A and B are shown apart, each in its own frame.
Chain A
Amino acid sequence: MATLINILVLGAIWGALYTLIAVGFTLIFGVAGIINLSHGTFYMLGAYLAYTFMTLWKINVPMSALMAVGVTALVGILIDRFGIRPMRERHVYVLIITLALAFFFQELMYALYGPHGKAVKSFVSGEIILANVHVTHQKILTFFVSGALVTLLWFFIKKTKTGKSTSAVAQNRDAAILVGIRPERVYLITAGISAALASVAGVFIAPILEAVPTMWVFPLFKAFAVVIIGGLGSIEGAIIAGMLLGYSETMVSVLISANYPDMVYLVAIILVLVLRPRGLMGKRAH
């Protein structure tokens, strides 16, 4: 019983977090055709900025979370404007510049904060106990915030004018220009949203895991996996695949060994790419 609850609860929390990280990754791919390897960096910036504002500067939690997300979104927009825009059409270039930037930010964090983990105090204290399984309120909060943000993103894209213009650019850039949408502006907005979502995940993970300079690698892998399994560019796919990955990793980790969960996503990526390259919900492999 405890095992089952453990899998259900932890799987849901990790799944929600993966989804939150991956929707931004898939959004910017779907809209701008960019594989942004510095996506994990936004997550890392979220965690470090949360540490800076909350622990070092002693600003209250909601304010510092907002500031951390805002600053990261700004960084995302600047990277898109000055790093990616000049060569947006060349995939190889975009992969390489974003990878180089990810390493740059890693070293910047080393230089600023040192190699040791930086802990942030939990936003909410306490825990609930379900059949001998301890779940901290922090994790529950993370789950609900992730769920709410993914839902909000969904409504933004389907219902608002700006959101609709992003899907218009994703579907057909030239037609979008003809009806008066400026694609470069849409790209900037998308880059900002994408960075902000990853940053939220980082802010909320900071009290659970510590902030370290190499922490950008793990969410990047996970986002990559979720997006490939779900289908590049598909938000529905990212939600399904994110939850699937969260549950399957927790299952492997609880039932088999804590060594193997990382194998799950790597094998899943390879299998999906070999058997069904467009992913579960993807439109077209190319």
Chain B
Amino acid sequence: MANLEDLYGPRVYYKRLFGLLILSVSVLLAPIVVRDPYYLELLFLCHYYVILACSWDLLTGFTGNVNFGHAFFIGGAGFAGALLNLHVGWGPWLTLPIGGLVAALCGLLVGSFTLRLRGPYFAAVTFCFATLLYKWIMIRYEIFGGEEGLPGIDWLMETPLGNYYFSGILMLAVISFLYLLSKSSFGLILRSIGENEIASEGSGINTTFYKIVAFMISAFMAGVAGAMYGHAQMHVGPEMAHDSLSALVLIMAVVGGMGSIIGPIIGAYLLTLVNESLRFMGEFRLLIYSSAVVAVILFAPKGLLDIITRGLRRLARQETT
């Protein structure tokens, strides 16, 4: 059981706020050092995955319901935004929030059917919805472009730097929002569901309602990120709804450390950068990557964040003695 003092005490509060401030400053000032468009694109990807991993973590990390179909929201909103942009001509300023809303509605629909199921059943249903969407995209290729996807979407910002700032600010907004949420009574209720759902129900909490709301918020964020990704690449493809994206997001959050906001941030940054830096390994890249993931999950089942904090504590103890 997480100690309440650890989560809500004033010292932790300021520490976290300080961390958030450092992250914001470094995200906003990084382009002074990083000018190469390649690295800006890479950091854009990091921001994208941070939003996805953090939004996934809101439902799964807090309440323990494993969502195996995050790509349902990412791809669904990506394609909704792309179709609106191509056929109706709405720009990113409209398609991003609308993509998010579409995803949130899907979250409401899926959640109200399935969030009363527990454990593996919920995981199975979310997974099925994502796969259904993927198959649907492939079958109705005249609408969704099939394997090729839909090219020719309006750009998000005109330069990589613009994309970088847009995604960076969106990411910071998501993190700050999740941070405030985790401090609120809403966050506390979600955690209590994660610790013991029956006890929470017994305390008069309508757990299904809270889980659905959390699922909708999670879906909304993933949807906005999905629509943003589509505009930034000027292309949406079926891989945005593929299970491997769901799995990647899940693995990022788990490797970093579920149920903490910092964990998924670490996981998303680390795995995106490691994946890119292993590119010189050629065909063995994914083998090394996946064995590293297995090793982390085996030896640090609570995520890297847990290892880091334990290491820091040990260091601090050594200094005082």
Contacts and interface: CB of A to CB of B under 8 A. Distances in A.
A58 interface: no
Interface in A94-111: 95-97, 99-101, 103-104, 106-108, 110-111
A269 B128 contact: yes
A263 B124 contact: no
Interface of A: 35, 82-83, 86-87, 90-93, 95-97, 99-101, 103-104, 106-108, 110-111, 217, 221, 224, 228, 232, 259-260, 262-263, 266-267, 269-270, 273-274, 277, 285-286
Given A92-B64, A100-B294, A270-B125, A107 B120 contact: no
B272 to A, nearest CB: 16
B307 to A, nearest CB: 16
B83 interface: no
A57 to B, nearest CB: 23
B279 interface: no
A115 B55 CA distance: 33
B132 A267 contact: yes
B117 A277 contact: yes
Contacts of B254: 96
Interface in B271-298: 283-284, 286-287, 289-291, 293-294, 297-298
Contact of B251 (A91, A96, A107, A260): A96
A228 B66 CA distance: 17
A103 B290 contact: yes
Q: Main SS of chain A's interface residues?
A: helix
Q: By CB atoms of chain B within 10 A, which of A100, A108, A286 has the most?
A: A100
Interface of B: 60, 64, 66, 68, 113-114, 117-121, 123-125, 127-129, 131-132, 135, 139, 243, 247, 250-251, 254, 258, 283-284, 286-287, 289-291, 293-294, 297-298, 301
Contact of B119 (A87, A266, A286): A286
Contacts of B129: 270
Contacts of B294: 97, 100-101, 104
B135 A232 contact: no
A87 B302 CA distance: 11
A244 to B, nearest CB: 17
Q: By CB atoms of chain A within 10 A, which of B68, B119, B124, B293 has the most?
A: B124
Contact of B135 (A91, A106, A262): A262
A108 B117 CA distance: 35
A266 B135 contact: yes
19 contacts: A35-B123, A82-B298, A86-B301, A92-B64, A100-B251, A100-B297, A104-B290, A104-B291, A106-B290, A107-B289, A110-B283, A110-B286, A111-B287, A228-B121, A262-B131, A266-B132, A266-B135, A273-B113, A273-B121
Given A100-B251, A103-B247, A274 B119 contact: no
B316 to A, nearest CB: 28
